[in-house]
Structure formats: structure tokens, C-alpha cells
Structure 1
Amino acid sequence: MTDPTGDTVREVQITFDCADPGAQAEFWAAALGYRLQPPPPGFDTWDAALDSLGVPADRRNDRSAIVPPEGASGPRVFFQRVPEGKTAKNRVHLDVRAAPGLEGEARMQRLGEARDRLVALGARETGRFEPGEEMSGGFIVMSDPEGNEFCLD
């Protein structure tokens, strides 16, 4: 596929370094309306696929991935276990579009509903900007269960 200038358009995968790929995949699948990536063709479960590859039980949470629901488009999101913990603010973050097209009180109410749902899943609110602040229509800053920042926008 090429863009209007003739350059090749490339697919993007978003990768999270984390301590618990399975838990992070579950959280972000719920946050984004995604689903866990199904096992490869020919396997009913990931355990069956990993058994066939000889992956030991203690290494089965080293990686996980989520994909858009059937019929939707979006990047694959990949989670990989790393030994070090998060030590600084993200330089890149996701904006989860929870209230597109809404303004004012209706926007902030919808963002608050999304916040409450994600807090119940293990996220934490770290900041709130009302309409007009930061030259925006209002947004809520959150962190996922492992402390990665994202915004509800």
C-alpha cells in the first residue's frame, strides 16, 4: 500500500515493556475495546501452541498481545516482560479517545465514566484538566496498573 506521495505506508505495532504481560494485555484489551490475540491456526489454546513450541510453563507470561476486534482496524499492541521497572515519565503515551465530538460538561462526564471503569480495572487518575486548561477541551491523565501514563481525551 502506498500513500499519496508514493511512499510505502507501514503498519505500526505498539510495544509495552512490563513486568506482567498477561495482566497488562487484559487491562489494555478492556481499555481499548480490543481482544487478546488468538492462538495460531491449528491450535485451540495458547497453552497448546506453546506446548508444541516447547515453551516452559515459567516462560509463558513473557509475552502477550492484543488486537482490534474482528472487522475493526488498529495497531497490534504487544507486551513483553523486561527485568527493570519503570523509572521515569513516558516520553510517548497513548491518548484514549473516550469522548470524541463532545464538549464541556458532557465531555467531562463521559471522560469521568471512562475513568471510573478503568480505575475499577486497576488504573489510577493522576491529573485532570478542565476545558480551556492546557488549550484543550479537557482531559484526564491516568496511569495503567504498571504506572504507564496515558490520557483520556
Structure 2
Amino acid sequence: MPTYIKSVTFDCADALVVARFWAAALGGELDEDATAGKAYVEAPGWGGPALWFRKVPEPRTAKLRMHFDLRAPDGIEAEVARLEALGATVFARHEGLVVMQDPEGHEFCVED
């Protein structure tokens, strides 16, 4: 039997801030025991990977080599505006996608 992705883990300065953003962005459930040191977001629906966030002492020093690509159900601009209201920022715009950063600078893309 093949393996599957149980969770994706993010290193953060404040796990709670980043976990709150991703819970709101993806419609997931933030664990009630979440703290600035560690936080868990249950994926919406059944079977998707959960998201773990853990505080680490060192800052990020380079671009991540993996990122999320989010599909914008109501169009790119509407989704970008929604994510900005949650605390994300636009990093770059390209034809057909927008590169954004979560509150701690983790990059992700929004596309049709």
C-alpha cells in the first residue's frame, strides 16, 4: 500500500498567527489548544493533509522550494482581496496568477 501525506509543517516565528491565517484562508479548523509555539489546522473535508505550525528560533533565510497553489473559485482578484483582508500581501503579479505571502512571508500562488 502506498503512503500518503498526513500533514504539511511550517516553521514560524509565531505559530498561532500563521495558523489562524491558513485556517481562515482554507476554511479549516484551528485546534483549540493552539499556541504561539505550536498550532494545528485540520483540513476542510475528509482526507486532505492537515497543517502543522511550529515556532522555531531562527528566521527564514531563503525562498521556500515548495508552496501552495490555490484555485480562486470566484476569480483571482476577488480571492486576492479576501486573502489580503486576512493578512496576506501581494508579492508579484503574473499573467494568470498572483504570488502572495502569508503573514510571515511564506509564499503561495492564487490562480484560476
Number of residue pairs matched by the alignment = 111
Give the corresponding residue for 2:67. Answer: 93
The one of 51, 58, 62 equivalent to 2:37 is: 62
Cα distance, 1:74 vs. partner? 0.8
Q: Is the 8 A contact 1:142 1:149 kept in 2?
A: yes
Q: Is 1:76 the counterpart of 2:50 in the alignment? A: yes
Aligned-residue identity in percent: 44
Structure 2 unmatched ranges of 5 or more: none
Cα distance, 1:127 vs. partner? 1.2
Q: Is 1:22 the counterpart of 2:16 in the alignment? A: yes
Cα distance, 1:122 vs. partner? 1.1
Larger strand proportion of the pair: 2
Q: Is the 8 A contact 2:43 2:50 kept in 1?
A: yes
Q: Deviations over 1:75-122 (max 9, x none)?
A: 0100000001122111111111224xxxxxxxxx71111110111111
Q: Is the 8 A contact 1:34 1:67 kept in 2?
A: yes
Which secondary structure does the structure 1 equivalent of 2:98 belong to?
strand
The list of structure 1 runs, each at least 4 consecutive aligned residues, that deviate by more than 4 angstroms after superposition, is none
Give TM-score, length-normalised by structure 1: 0.66
User: Separation in 1 of the partners of 2:107 and 2:31?
Assistant: 23
Give the corresponding residue for 1:134. Answer: none
Larger helix proportion of the pair: 1
Q: Report 1:113-124 matches (<5 A).
A: 113-124=78-89
Letter of the 1:110 partner, please give it: G
Give the corresponding residue for 1:11. Answer: 5
Give TM-score, length-normalised by structure 2: 0.88
Q: Deviations over 1:44-75 (max 9, x none)?
A: xx39xxxxxxxxxxxx4210010123x43310
Which secondary structure does the structure 2 equivalent of 1:24 belong to?
helix
Q: What's the Cα RMSD here?
A: 1.8
User: Separation in 1 of the partners of 2:67 and 2:60?
Assistant: 14
Cα distance, 1:13 vs. partner? 1.1
User: Separation in 2 of the partners of 1:11 and 1:114?
Assistant: 26
Give the corresponding residue for 1:147. Answer: 105
Give the corresponding residue for 1:102. Answer: none
